[in-house]
Chain A
Amino acid sequence: MSNFLQKFGAYWLGKLERLGRATLFLFHLVAALASLVKRPSLLVKQLHASGVMTLSIVLVSGLFVGMVLSLQFYNTLIDFGQEERVGTLVALTLVRELGPVVTGLLFAGRAGSAMTAEIGLMKATEQLSGLEMMAVDPFKRVFAPRFLAGFIALPMLAAMFSAVGVMGGHLVGVEVLGVDANAYWSQMHSSVSFTHDVCNGLVKGLVFGFVVSWISIFEGADCIPTSEGVSSATTRTVVYSSLAILGLDFLLTAVMF
């Protein structure tokens, strides 16, 4: 019995210790951000790796999510003769919830796991130690540009996701199912608020970008430097990021709307 208790306690102590390390890591990371002013080319390179490379999957999923939403809402609303509301519903769902959340999940899977694997492999092959030997701070050179790039790229991708999703909704709702095009856009226009809906969606994207980049980089830098360690760190990145996104989304929605 006491053996079991000891193991249980040790398990949670380990978790807490890891959380503490992650927090310290975050402070370190934020402090290193200032050095990017001197070398913006590092940031551009990472924006390419995490933003541009994720773009295609985000745009394609945005299109399909918008199309599916339009189809589902249409089928329900037609019973009430309110199918003109499809535009409003599609836009609100995308801008408020699905845009940031689905983009965040895709980003964690596509860019976050890549960041973890890259940094983990750098650690396993002792490139990070090598940098330190050459008096190059890996926080400034490796971690900070990736962190800022993820932080910036996610809300941008979320905005694109929502915009493309609305287009997809138009494609199915108006072109295929025959909702009046003017009604689709004007109903949407009159019930979506820029400050309340669009900007809050962007804030969600920023929060998710912050959390996903933090988790991805920390898992990479904290992994056991073996091939097995890197693989389990990559898995953890995706799992923790997804859970964090879904949990935070609920909290943010409760506060915002």
Chain B
Amino acid sequence: MNSRTSEILVGLFMLLFLLAMFVLAMKVSNLTSLNSSEGYTLTAKFENIGGLKERARVSASGVRVGEVTRIIYDPENFEAMVTLRLDKAFDAFPLDTTASIYTSGLLGEQYIGLDPGAEEDFLQNDDEITLTQSAIVLERLIGQVLFSRSGGS
């Protein structure tokens, strides 16, 4: 095979590789949502986050508006500190927005749902969402039900 043909084929090979990387980056993995550097971050403290993980979905009315970027334990207040990163397009959440941890489906993954309040002012970058509702832990729920039933009888 002469060198021109093999050079062309190697060029095509490289192009194919770039195409494959493009597919892997854009369609298969979440490189597109990673570069949302134009977003803003909020923090929220939860008594119990259940099984919430980093990179979990943050949604409002069921629509994805951002993701969880960091979860740490705050040893002073004995609470979990969750950092959320929201898209720049959704920058109008009132100050009294509630953040709750929900589970999608019975066995699904956990995510944070934002329920907007009625304040006139909006949450800014690095603000804290003060109204939070912890995850429902199934064992605790069962315990409460058993306790209330035995108490009632």
Contact of A95 among B6, B9, B28 (CB under 8 A): B28
Question: Does the CB pair B9–A41 fall under 8 Å?
Answer: no
A210 to B109 CA separation, bound complex (whole angstroms): 39
By beta carbon, the residue of chain A nearest B6 is: A48
A160 to B28 CA separation, bound complex (whole angstroms): 13
Question: Does the CB pair A162–B20 fall under 8 Å?
Answer: yes
A194 to B1 CA separation, bound complex (whole angstroms): 38
A2 to B10 CA separation, bound complex (whole angstroms): 57
The total of chain A residues at the interface (CB under 8 A) is 28
A197: chain B residues at CB < 8 Å are 29
A184 to B42 CA separation, bound complex (whole angstroms): 31
**Is there a chain B Cβ closer than 8 Å to A240's Cβ?**
no
One of A7-15, A134-142, A185-193 at the interface: A185-193
Question: Does the CB pair B13–A166 fall under 8 Å?
Answer: no
**Is there a chain B Cβ closer than 8 Å to A51's Cβ?**
yes
A33: chain B residues at CB < 8 Å are none
Question: Does the CB pair B17–A166 fall under 8 Å?
Answer: no
Question: Does the CB pair A198–B29 fall under 8 Å?
Answer: yes
Question: Does the CB pair A192–B29 fall under 8 Å?
Answer: yes
By beta carbon, the residue of chain A nearest B108 is: A82
By beta carbon, the residue of chain B nearest A80 is: B107
A48 to B3 CA separation, bound complex (whole angstroms): 10
Contact of A189 among B16, B28, B107 (CB under 8 A): B28
B12: chain A residues at CB < 8 Å are 52
Question: Does the CB pair B17–A193 fall under 8 Å?
Answer: no
A251 to B72 CA separation, bound complex (whole angstroms): 30
Question: Does the CB pair A55–B16 fall under 8 Å?
Answer: yes
**Is there a chain A Cβ closer than 8 Å to B57's Cβ?**
yes
**How distant is B31 from chain A, measured CB to nearest CB, in Å?**
4
Question: Does the CB pair A47–B13 fall under 8 Å?
Answer: yes
* Contact A193:B10 (CB < 8 A) given known A41-B3, A55-B16, A163-B20: no
By beta carbon, the residue of chain A nearest B31 is: A194
By beta carbon, the residue of chain B nearest A47 is: B10
**Is there a chain B Cβ closer than 8 Å to A156's Cβ?**
yes
B76: chain A residues at CB < 8 Å are none
**Is there a chain B Cβ closer than 8 Å to A21's Cβ?**
no
**How distant is B95 from chain A, measured CB to nearest CB, in Å?**
29
Question: Does the CB pair B27–A45 fall under 8 Å?
Answer: no
Question: Does the CB pair B17–A198 fall under 8 Å?
Answer: no
A45 to B4 CA separation, bound complex (whole angstroms): 10
Question: Does the CB pair A160–B25 fall under 8 Å?
Answer: no
* Contact A192:B17 (CB < 8 A) given known A45-B3, A52-B10, A162-B24: no
B30: chain A residues at CB < 8 Å are 189-190, 192-194
Residue among A44, A190, A193 with the highest chain B CB neighbour number at 10 A:
A190
**Is there a chain B Cβ closer than 8 Å to A105's Cβ?**
no
A160: chain B residues at CB < 8 Å are 16-17, 20
Question: Does the CB pair B24–A95 fall under 8 Å?
Answer: yes
**Is there a chain A Cβ closer than 8 Å to B89's Cβ?**
no
Question: Does the CB pair B21–A159 fall under 8 Å?
Answer: yes
B34: chain A residues at CB < 8 Å are 194-195
Question: Does the CB pair B23–A194 fall under 8 Å?
Answer: no
Contact of B25 among A47, A80, A156, A194 (CB under 8 A): A194
Question: Does the CB pair A55–B24 fall under 8 Å?
Answer: no
Residue contacts A-B, CB under 8 angstroms, 19 given: A45-B3, A51-B10, A51-B13, A55-B13, A55-B16, A156-B20, A159-B17, A159-B24, A162-B28, A163-B24, A163-B28, A188-B27, A190-B57, A192-B28, A192-B29, A192-B30, A193-B29, A194-B24, A198-B24
Chain A interface (Cβ < 8 Å from any Cβ of B): 41, 44-45, 47-48, 51-52, 55, 80, 91, 95, 156, 159-160, 162-164, 166, 185, 188-190, 192-195, 197-198
Chain B interface (Cβ < 8 Å from any Cβ of A): 1, 3, 6-7, 9-10, 12-14, 16-17, 19-21, 23-25, 27-31, 34, 55, 57, 107
